[in-house]
Structure 1
Amino acid sequence: MRISANLGLLWTHLDLPDAIAAAAAAGFDAVECHWPYAIPAADLRAVLDRAGMELLSLNTAPGGAGEFGLTALPGREHEARAAFDTALAYAVQARVPMIHVMAGISTAPEALDVFANTLECCCRAAAAHGVTLLIEPINRHDVPGYALSDPDVAVRLITGLGAPNLRIMADCYHLARMGHDVPAMLARLGKLIGHVQIAGVPARNEPDRGTLDPAAVLAALARVGYRGAIGAEYRPSDPQEPDLRWLGALRRAD
């Protein structure tokens, strides 16, 4: 199983090209990031090729301060679609296979309907380029008011839309912080999982610290036939010199 470094939280003191090189040198198989848009897509592709790395995913724009995405915000549909079009164009040029479509912070009763309607259009556009879209249930301890926090709601959105290129970002940290039994939830999500992320619970530090058992996560993923990568999206205890002993242990547990 491939393990990717999420450069939104790892090596954040480096610029993105240097962070990619650091991840490659540390033994990661791939990288993922949140918002690479400051670097032209063709330039980023060249950086990735030199490092022998793949960029697995990127996010749609977070919007303004305190919004955490635009796609579920009533009245912001045109901005959300424009943000998605930017993300898709970038992903196609940089050869990024997945886009995390950020819902945003909204407690409006129509937020999920807005989210679903925009996702439907986005799925059609992405399918033409072979790009998979991810939606991520995010816990409301960390992001109060996030429009999508319940994984069962994510399942209903995906099954309701019926788009084969719409999948769940199963972030084990967020699932655990919402009180779910993570291996059991992964079993329930099954074939709807498009990508997996891990971190220690509850501090979101190294994946081998806290209450989440990475070996149990791997076992659950094996049972549902997941063959994608696992993204390390955690805040290292030492941001400049991350302790990566967990990486070897996770490989041995696979």
Structure 2
Amino acid sequence: MIQFAANLSMLFGEVPFLNRFKEAKASGFEGVEFLFPYDYSKVQLREKLDEAQLTQVLFNLPPGNWEKGERGIAALPGRESEFQHSVELALEYAEYLGCKRLHVMAGVCPEGEQIEQCFEVYLGNLAYACGQANSAGVTLLIEPINTRAFPGYLLSHQAQARKVIDHLAQPNLKLQMDLYHAQIMEGDLTTLIRHQIDYVGHIQVAGIPDRFEPSGGEVDYNWIFSELSQSSYDGWIGCEYNPKVETKAGLGWLESARNHFS
């Protein structure tokens, strides 16, 4: 059954990060996701999950130097050893937190590097990561991200991700379909969902164009949720948006959304 997960990197910013778990539970969420766990100990995070009786749904591999503009290192030539260490660290956290999905950020191809070379490195690193994750029972996700948010990001269209998945043919490599990014880059979300759904391992939502609650903007999410309810998808929907108002005050859309999957 489809369930909704609160993205704690973006929701409940009214309270410190470690307090957001109980806020998510009190607001009706049964799972959480966030960008990166590495500033906190595994023990701290596990305690918060257990206290709130929440499932850790997803987080990202280490992204490299975020402050300097790096947005993942999987496609960066010369960083293969660092990437392998990042896989090891992420799987260590995933095992302790009971997390079954990890997002592998491709990254921005460095200036002076050929796109083809970056893709070759990307495919090799993904193949390595899939082997390591498969042994741990973890599914890896790749996500096309809009180039307005991350200029130069290697993976920006759904068809690109599908080709990567087909090429590697790894059973634990899936598509992370963020409908916010997909609408900005491509639109035609209903057709994208119908064509890609068998590849999808995780879905994320936000209003478009301002990344507020998925209850306004140019996409009718009631239509989207009805479409998903009729599809083969039975995973989580991550709520990865910037609340326009205080988080709880903006959650009125959630009850209506759940009705599509009851």
Q: What range is the shorter-chain TM-score in?
A: over 0.9
CA shift at 1:99, angstroms?
Answer: 0.4
* Structure 2 residue ranges without an equivalent (≥5): none
Summarize deviations over 1:46-95 as a string: whole Å, max 9, x none.
Answer: 21111010110010112112111111111211112211211111111111
Does residue 223 of structure 2 align to residue 216 of structure 1?
yes
**What's the Cα RMSD here?**
1.4
For 1:55 and 1:251, how far apart are their aligned partners in 2? 20
For 1:172 and 1:96, how far apart are their aligned partners in 2? 22
1:52 aligned partner = 53
For 1:145 and 1:106, how far apart are their aligned partners in 2? 7
CA shift at 1:13, angstroms?
Answer: 4.2
Indicate if the aligned counterparts of 2:60 and 2:104 stay in contact, CA closer than 8 A: yes
1:28 aligned partner = 29
Letter in 2 for 1:151: Q
SS at match of 1:149: coil
Letter in 2 for 1:194: G
For 2:20 and 2:242, how far apart are their aligned partners in 1? 15
1:68-107 equivalences in 2 (<5 Å): 68-106=71-109
TM-score (norm 1): 0.95
1:184 aligned partner = 191
1:119 to 1:67, Cα distance in 2 relative to 1, 3 A: same
CA shift at 1:240, angstroms?
Answer: 5.8
Does residue 255 of structure 2 align to residue 248 of structure 1?
yes
1:177 to 1:46, Cα distance in 2 relative to 1, 3 A: same
For 1:194 and 1:237, how far apart are their aligned partners in 2? 28
Indicate if the aligned counterparts of 2:215 and 2:221 stay in contact, CA closer than 8 A: yes
CA shift at 1:238, angstroms?
Answer: 2.3
Higher mean C-alpha deviation, range 174-183 or range 100-109: 100-109
1:156-195 equivalences in 2 (<5 Å): 156-195=163-202
- Number of matched residues? 254
Indicate if the aligned counterparts of 2:27 and 2:248 stay in contact, CA closer than 8 A: no
Does residue 233 of structure 2 align to residue 226 of structure 1?
yes
SS at match of 2:250: coil
1:196 aligned partner = 203
Letter in 2 for 1:3: F
CA shift at 1:15, angstroms?
Answer: 2.8
CA shift at 1:241, angstroms?
Answer: 5.0
1:5 aligned partner = 6
Q: Calculate percent identity across the aligned residue pairs.
A: 36
1:141 aligned partner = 148
CA shift at 1:158, angstroms?
Answer: 0.6
2:63 aligned partner = 62
Letter in 2 for 1:75: G
SS at match of 1:24: helix
Summarize deviations over 1:174-202 as a string: whole Å, max 9, x none.
Answer: 00000321121011112110000000011
For 2:210 and 2:247, how far apart are their aligned partners in 1? 18
Find 1:120's aligned residue among 111, 123, 127.
Answer: 127
Higher mean C-alpha deviation, range 136-145 or range 213-222: 213-222
Summarize deviations over 1:149-186 as a string: whole Å, max 9, x none.
Answer: 01111001111111111000000000000032112101
For 1:22 and 1:32, how far apart are their aligned partners in 2? 13
TM-score (norm 2): 0.93
Stretches (4+) displaced over 3 A: 239-242
